[in-house]
Amino acid sequence: MMNNRPTPDRVLQLINGYWVTGIIGVAAGCSLFTHLEDGAGTVVELAARAGISERGAQTLLDGLVSGGLVELYEGRYRNTPEASTYLVEGKPTSLSSFAELKLRQMGTLAGLPDVVRAGGPVTDPTTEVADNPHWEQVVPAIAAQSVPAATIAAEVIGLADAGEISILDVGGGSGIYSAIWLEANPAARSTQLDWAPINAIARRLLEERGMAERFTCIDGDFHTTDFGTAKYDVALYSHIAHQEGPEDNVEVFTRLRRSLKPGGALVICDYVVDDDRGGPTFPLIFASEMLLKSKKGNTWRRADYHGWLMKAGFGEVSFHPAEPATLVVAR
């Protein structure tokens, strides 16, 4: 007879979740996914390709098989489709440098007990500090996360067929949205508002992709920089709302509404949680990152976005999946 007693398996895996952060971060650091992409291999072959010990290679591969990122086929290891798409260097969707960054940042978790007790960062609130060098590390590493969402957002708002439109990307970071959107619509122009060193990173990307003449940057703080009036057809606010408190989001949405031409659209991309905070899983757990790194940030509920956008003067709000993120489109 089966008994329904829970086993400790899942709890042990969750407690030891840092093992996975370590294994993926180190595997990315020694280009193991890229070597696997060049061809399936045995432990001995892969250790030689990656320039690591056989014992180390076996340990990484065991961990990656356990995590479902690498599989064994006729005695050789190969990437699963997920690893092939998201962890091989050089692919536009590659999260490989993000995996390395997360491993480097893992020590900050030691401060979590104090942060939880206090209800926010105790030593260095990163998102509120103007022009924080933190962003120079983060922005290139997270660019790939926005590739699928930017592509879906372009489809949702019919960007490719929108003609000569002007776009404002607030906190555009790497410039990845502008790169994807300007490629989808060769008549569009985009303006990114971010800190000066971050805009320099974005300018390089747009130059590399041959779209520099249609891309302008404004250096500054989006809390204080004027967005203008009836200037843009589309405004974008991607992965910013979670670092801000409710009042700040309403304030920025109000000024963004004013910056839009009649009929213009505000596109928000973020990790949005259900109204009862019962899911989805990734946005729920991402809230811990904002507790660690911002004074007022959180993963906000659909109802929060809806209410703030109405207060800001928008009349129509729709939600579209771009997993693990959600796109919120307001007109």
**Are the beta carbons of 313 and 252 closer than 8 angstroms?**
no
* 101: contact with ligand SAM by CB under 6 A: no
Q: Tell me the CA distances in angstroms from 315 to 249, 325, 331, one per residue in order.
A: 17, 23, 6
**Are the beta carbons of 214 and 187 closer than 8 angstroms?**
no
* 198: contact with ligand SAM by CB under 6 A: yes
Peptide bond preceding 280: is omega within 30 degrees of 0, i.e. cis? yes
Pick the closer one to ligand SAM by CB: 76 or 320. Answer: 320
* 215: contact with ligand SAM by CB under 6 A: no
* 148: contact with ligand SAM by CB under 6 A: no
SS3 315: coil
* 139: contact with ligand SAM by CB under 6 A: yes
Pick the closer one to ligand SAM by CB: 71 or 248. Answer: 248
Number of neighbouring beta carbons within 10 Å of residue 244: 25
Sole window of 45-53, 71-79, 152-160, 221-229 interacting with ligand SAM (rule: CB under 6 A): 221-229
Sole window of 84-92, 191-199, 206-214, 249-257 interacting with ligand SAM (rule: CB under 6 A): 191-199
Q: How far is the CB of 23 from ligand SAM (least distance, A)?
A: 25
Q: How far is the CB of 249 from ligand SAM (least distance, A)?
A: 12
Number of neighbouring beta carbons within 10 Å of residue 24: 26
From 113, 131, 126, 271, select the one nearest 196 (Cα to Cα).
131
* 194: contact with ligand SAM by CB under 6 A: yes
Of positions 77, 98, 135, 271, contacts ligand SAM by CB under 6 A: 135
Number of residues that bind ligand SAM (CB under 6 A): 17
* 172: contact with ligand SAM by CB under 6 A: yes
Of positions 41, 63, 173, 264, contacts ligand SAM by CB under 6 A: 173
Pick the closer one to ligand SAM by CB: 77 or 308. Answer: 308
* 199: contact with ligand SAM by CB under 6 A: no
* 144: contact with ligand SAM by CB under 6 A: no
Within residues 6-65, the interface with ligand SAM by CB under 6 A covers none
Residue 171 C-alpha from the chain's centroid: 12
Q: Which positions ≥6 away from 166 have C-beta within 8 Å?
A: 188, 189, 190, 191, 231, 232, 233, 234
**Are the beta carbons of 178 and 148 closer than 8 angstroms?**
no
**Are the beta carbons of 293 and 138 closer than 8 angstroms?**
no
**Are the beta carbons of 166 and 139 closer than 8 angstroms?**
no
Sole window of 15-23, 166-174, 246-254, 284-292 interacting with ligand SAM (rule: CB under 6 A): 166-174
* 240: contact with ligand SAM by CB under 6 A: yes
* 195: contact with ligand SAM by CB under 6 A: yes
Q: Tell me the CA distances in angstroms from 236 to 104, 105, 177, one per residue in order.
A: 30, 28, 9
Contacts with ligand SAM, residue ranges (CB under 6 A): 135, 139, 142, 146, 171-173, 176, 194-195, 198, 221-223, 238-240
